[in-house]
């Protein structure tokens, strides 16, 4: 479990993380979303005790991580930037980390196999491709069989096979009762892997919700109704919590109620319905909606 409370981090006069509070529960995969510069990586670095918060606290499995007796059993982390020594082989990079916790050669070989690095274990990590480097980083994070796993952009640079590997891996870690926090820019990937979401924008928490709720609350999720009687149906459906939008055609976008209820109401009032389609926003659409005000770097028009 990761408990973050009132976390703030400034670099000079820039506030990277601003009064952030959220909890990551064990036993499920939590997606960590936010536009570039939202403070995800900074938050992850503070979870691992690499950066010191200006205020607020981070607790990993109920403890202040830098004081953990057996850190590698508590937390395994993959950071966005590469953190391996290019002059050491994959195996020696892992051995050096493993030795700090008395982890033996057998476990090192196990994670090497798990990460699909068997053939290059003796090769210097400096020559690794981005994808190989990511696999090595993930192997390092899993080395101590930690209770909590934090991965920043793990699928970055991975081939489709690697992407599927990460997906299955994250799910199995969660199924073992571990806490899994993972950031990704690939919304479709996140939608398939995560069940819970933490969304950041400009260092602040935008929302903390299940993937289902997050998508349901996005506009675009609702029911599309085609009827010649748009005005009468609109009046009929009007109620608190229900919004009906008509763009002047014979289409109504209704949110806050179900297709069944709309169909039944139309039937009772003898209104013809030509089409009744439940629609779902994608996670990506939902994400764009909630973060549109907090995107740090807009793609500017080229002058």
Partner 1 sequence: MSAATETRPVSTHGTPAPATVAGPVTQVRVVRAEWTKLQALRSTRWCALAAALLIVGLGAAIAGSGTPYHVSPGNTAASGVSVALIGVLFAQLVIGVVGVLAFSGEYGTGMIRATLAVVPSRLPVLWAKAIVLVGLVLPVTMLCAFGDFFAAAAIESSRGGSVLSLTDPGVLRTVAGSSLYLTVVVITGLALGALLRKTAAGLSVFAAVFFVIPVSVGALPQNIRGFAPYLPSNAGGALWGSPLGSGHVLSPWTGFACLCGYAIVLTVLAAWQLRRRDA
Grouping H, G, I as helix, E, B as strand and the rest as coil, residue 241 is: coil
Question: Judged by CB under 8 A, which of 51, 109, 213, 284 binds partner 1?
Answer: 51
Sign of CA dihedral 186, 188, 189, 195: positive
What x/- string results for residues 96 through 115 when contact with partner 1 is judged by CB under 8 A?
Answer: xxxxxxxxx--x--------
* Joined tokens for residue 164: 């599927």
- Report how far apart, in Å, the C-alpha atoms of 284 and of each of 49, 67, 122 are: 31, 38, 40
- Under rule CB under 8 A, how many of the chain's residues touch partner 1? 54
Crossing angle of the two packed helices 105-114 and 130-142, in degrees rounded to 10: 140
Does residue 130 belong to the site contacting partner 1 (CB under 8 A)?
no
Q: How far is the CB of 275 from partner 1 (least distance, A)?
A: 42
Question: Distances in Å between the alpha carbon of 47 and those of 23, 44, 96?
Answer: 12, 5, 22
- The token pair at 53 is 């918060």
Measured distance CA(211)–CA(292) in Å, rounded = 18
Using CB under 8 A, which of the segments 24-32, 158-166, 221-229, 252-260 binds partner 1? 24-32
Judged by beta carbon, residue 179 or residue 227, the one nearer partner 1 is 179
* 117 vs 121: CA distance, rounded Å: 6
Interface with partner 1 by CB under 8 A: which range of 62-70, 181-189, 216-224, 260-268? 62-70
Q: Where in 169-228 is the site for partner 1 (CB under 8 A)?
A: 176-178
Given candidates 10, 59, 82, 164, which one binds partner 1 under the rule CB under 8 A? 82
Catalog residues that contact partner 1 under the rule CB under 8 A: 1, 25-27, 45, 48-52, 61, 65-73, 75, 77, 79, 81-89, 92-93, 95-104, 107, 140, 143-147, 176-178
């Amino acid at each position: 479990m990761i408990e973050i409370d009132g976390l703030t981090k400034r670099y000079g006069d820039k506030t990277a993380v601003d009064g952030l509070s959220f909890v990551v529960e064990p036993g499920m995969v939590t997606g960590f979303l936010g536009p570039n510069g939202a403070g995800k990586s900074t938050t992850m670095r503070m979870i691992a005790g690499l950066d010191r918060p200006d205020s607020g606290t981070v607790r990993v499995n109920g403890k202040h991580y830098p004081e953990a007796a057996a850190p590698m059993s508590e937390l395994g982390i993959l950071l966005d930037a590469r953190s391996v020594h290019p002059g050491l082989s994959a195996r020696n990079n892992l051995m050096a980390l493993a030795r700090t916790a008395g982890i033996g050669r057998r476990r090192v070989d196990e994670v090497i196999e798990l990460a699909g690095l068997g053939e290059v274990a003796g090769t210097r990590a400096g020559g690794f491709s981005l994808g190989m480097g990511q696999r090595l980083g993930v192997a390092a994070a899993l080395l101590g069989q930690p209770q909590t796993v934090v991965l920043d952009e793990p699928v970055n640079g991975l081939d489709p096979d690697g992407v599927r590997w990460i997906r299955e891996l994250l799910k199995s870690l969660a199924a073992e009762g571990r806490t899994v926090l993972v950031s990704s820019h690939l919304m479709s990937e996140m939608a398939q892997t995560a069940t819970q979401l933490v969304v950041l924008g400009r260092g602040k928490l935008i929302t903390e919700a299940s993937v289902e709720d997050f998508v349901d609350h996005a506009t675009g999720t609702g029911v599309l109704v085609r009827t010649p009687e748009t005005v009468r149906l609109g009046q009929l459906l009007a109620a608190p919590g229900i919004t009906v939008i008509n763009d002047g055609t014979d289409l109504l976008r209704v949110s806050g109620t179900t297709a069944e209820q709309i169909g039944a109401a139309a039937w009772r009032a003898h209104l013809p319905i030509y089409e009744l389609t439940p629609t779902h926003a994608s996670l990506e659409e939902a994400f764009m909606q909630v973060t549109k005000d907090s995107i740090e770097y807009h793609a500017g028009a080229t002058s």
